[in-house]
């Protein structure tokens, strides 16, 4: 096996092994180094692909054709029939932890000082099956985030005690209010409408007041996508 | 069966999203794919094979849409990942750079890479699915990683000759 052949095999399938390749690697320090680098790169590629991309494209969303709408409607039957049972069976003991980890992954969300535009809020709510009656001047951050297999609205609202994160979790069901404290953050998850709402803030603050307000302000649409 | 399909939806959506680079399009592709899968559900003999089967349907649906709507797709130069709000729990600059680089790979390289890494398909399965020779698939996978290698600051390996279409 030549170096070119070895590198083709390594580059195409870094974790694959063959007797010929192993024999070549034993005798070739340069290809061994290449192999190690490729294994590291491949682990990074795997990590990079674990989350879907958040693509910003400067173009208006295309209008859906009729056949697509029909397909969506039909697909919804599948979703309605099975989705609820699947997610009800999902263990929820890590939910609070995952909310904390998610917010820690977006530290800039609490630094925003200007209110989010109505377009940003609409984009954050898109596909989540909810509407919001909260006035936009209290919302300083609005994103649609990939969380536990779904896109969910991730908002930051300004309260008298500072910013509070609100995540509207249509697919997460909790039987009763749960509070949690982790890494200097306090939070509550409350049942709401078709799912639940998580509120998280640094330090203390009256999170239940925020939760109560959100329970009123979030309107759960009957047929989410 | 419906429950099984639905449980795989996040995987399908992520896969479609990396292929299409467009969330709305990915959602449409997955919906249409699930609809097609449901109509053909009798063809699925083993539930354990559902994931690979559905990923294949999603890939074909993407290819079908890509062919039909080629002119409506977002041009490459307009595509960038939103850096302001990275979605990974502990993002670092290198990983974000890599995600950008994967997004900007031409489809001929991105598709086999995503099929291999996310889908878990073997070279032979990818070759069959893309109507390519196994050598051509290996070449594309090599080139995909080689391009990413260069973007990540590593010295790229020497290029290899083209592989061909499957006979």
Lowest mean pLDDT among A12-16, A220-224, B111-115: A220-224
Across B34-61, average pLDDT: 89
| Nearest-by-CA chain A residue for B90 | A105
Question: Does residue B23 fall inside a structural domain?
Answer: yes
Of A12, A85, A149, the CB nearest to B142: A12
Could you tell me if B17 and B58 lie in one domain? yes
Question: Does residue B165 fall inside a structural domain?
Answer: no
Across B124-138, average pLDDT: 91
Q: Which residue, of B12, B45, B75, is where some domain finishes?
A: B75
Q: How confident is the model at residue B163, as a pLDDT?
A: 53
Q: How confident is the model at residue A91, as a pLDDT?
A: 42
Say yes or no to pLDDT of B161 above 50: yes
Closest-CA distance, A99 to chain B, in angstroms, reads 10
Could you tell me if B142 and B102 lie in one domain? yes
What letters, b where the CB count within 10 A reaches 16 and e where it falls short, cover B72-90? ebbeeeebbbeeebbbbee
In this structure, what token pair is assigned to residue B64? 């079908």
Q: How far is CA A211 from the centre of its chain?
A: 21
Could you tell me if B60 and B5 lie in one domain? yes
Could you tell me if B113 and B142 lie in one domain? yes
The CATH number linked to B135 is: 1.10.10.10
Could you tell me if B7 and B60 lie in one domain? yes
Question: Does residue B164 fall inside a structural domain?
Answer: no
Query: What are the chain A neighbours of B97 within 8 Å (beta carbons)?
Result: none
Across A136-159, average pLDDT: 84
Domain of residue B31: give its range. 1-75
Interface predicted TM-score of the whole assembly (ipTM), two decimals: 0.80
Could you tell me if B100 and B57 lie in one domain? no
Q: Which residue, of B75, B108, B141, is where some domain finishes?
A: B75
Cα distances from A128 to residues A123, A124, A142, A169, A223, in angstroms, run: 10, 8, 13, 9, 10
Question: Does residue B98 fall inside a structural domain?
Answer: yes
Question: How much is the mean pLDDT over chain B?
Answer: 79
Q: Which of A7, A14, A48 to mutate to test the interface with B (most CBs of B within 10 A)?
A: A48
Query: What are the chain A neighbours of B86 within 8 Å (beta carbons)?
Result: 54, 105-106
Of A4, A57, A149, the CB nearest to B10: A149
Question: Does residue B166 fall inside a structural domain?
Answer: no
* Domain range annotation of chain A: 3-49, 93-220
The two beta strands, A150-159 and A139-147, are antiparallel
Cα distances from A83 to residues A172, B131, B163, in angstroms, run: 11, 35, 43
Q: How confident is the model at residue A119, as a pLDDT?
A: 80
Question: Does residue B167 fall inside a structural domain?
Answer: no
Lowest mean pLDDT among A77-81, A120-124, A211-215, B61-65: A77-81
d(CA A160, CA A119): 25
Interface of A with B in 99-138 (CB under 8 A): 101-102, 104-106, 108-109, 127
CB contact under 8 A, A146 and B160: no
Say yes or no to pLDDT of B64 above 80: yes
DSSP secondary structure of A26-49: HH-HHHHHHHHHHHHHHHHHHHHH
Question: Does residue B82 fall inside a structural domain?
Answer: no
What letters, b where the CB count within 10 A reaches 16 and e where it falls short, cover A49-76? bebbbbbebeeeeeeeeeebeebbeebb
Q: How confident is the model at residue B26, as a pLDDT?
A: 87
Across B131-158, average pLDDT: 86
Domain tally for chain B? 2
Could you tell me if B58 and B115 lie in one domain? no
Could you tell me if B4 and B68 lie in one domain? yes
Could you tell me if B69 and B102 lie in one domain? no
Q: How confident is the model at residue B84, as a pLDDT?
A: 39
Q: How confident is the model at residue B159, as a pLDDT?
A: 67
Question: Does residue B84 fall inside a structural domain?
Answer: no
């Amino acid at each position: 096996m030549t170096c070119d052949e070895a590198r083709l095999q390594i580059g195409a399938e870094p974790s694959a092994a063959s007797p010929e390749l192993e024999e070549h690697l034993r005798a070739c320090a340069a290809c061994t180094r290449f192999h190690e680098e490729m294994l590291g790169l491949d682990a990074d590629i795997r990590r990079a692909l674990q989350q879907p991309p958040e693509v910003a494209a400067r173009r208006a969303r295309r209008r859906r054709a009729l056949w697509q709408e029909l397909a969506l409607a039909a697909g919804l039957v599948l979703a309605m029939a099975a989705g609820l049972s699947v997610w009800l069976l999902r263990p929820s003991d890590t939910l609070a932890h995952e909310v904390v980890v998610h917010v820690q992954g977006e530290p800039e969300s609490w630094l925003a000082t200007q209110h989010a535009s109505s377009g940003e809020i609409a984009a954050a709510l898109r596909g989540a099956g909810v509407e919001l009656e909260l006035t936009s001047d209290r919302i300083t951050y609005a994103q649609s985030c990939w969380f536990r297999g779904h896109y969910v609205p991730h908002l930051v609202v300004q309260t008298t005690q500072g910013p509070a994160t609100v995540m509207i979790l249509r697919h997460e069901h909790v039987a009763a209010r749960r509070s949690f404290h982790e890494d200097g953050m306090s939070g509550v998850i409350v049942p709401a409408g078709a799912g639940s709402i998580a509120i998280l803030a640094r330090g203390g603050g009256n999170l239940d007041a925020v939760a109560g307000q959100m329970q009123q302000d979030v309107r759960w649409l009957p047929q989410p996508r | 069966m419906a429950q099984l399909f639905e449980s795989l939806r996040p995987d399908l959506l992520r896969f479609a999203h990396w292929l299409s680079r467009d969330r709305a399009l990915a959602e449409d592709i997955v919906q249409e794919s699930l609809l097609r899968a449901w109509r053909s559900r009798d063809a699925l003999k083993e539930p354990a094979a559902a994931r690979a089967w559905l990923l294949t349907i999603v890939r074909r649906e993407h290819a079908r849409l890509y062919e039909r709507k080629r002119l409506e797709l977002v041009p490459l130069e307009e595509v960038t990942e939103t850096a302001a709000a990275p979605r990974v729990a502990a993002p670092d600059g290198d990983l974000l750079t890599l995600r950008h680089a994967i997004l900007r790979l031409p489809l001929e390289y991105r598709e086999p890479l995503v099929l291999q890494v996310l889908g878990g398909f073997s070279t032979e399965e990818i070759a069959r699915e893309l109507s390519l020779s196994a050598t051509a698939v290996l070449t594309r996978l090599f080139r995909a990683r080689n391009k990413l290698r260069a973007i990540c600051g590593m010295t790229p390996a020497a290029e290899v000759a083209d592989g061909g279409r499957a006979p």
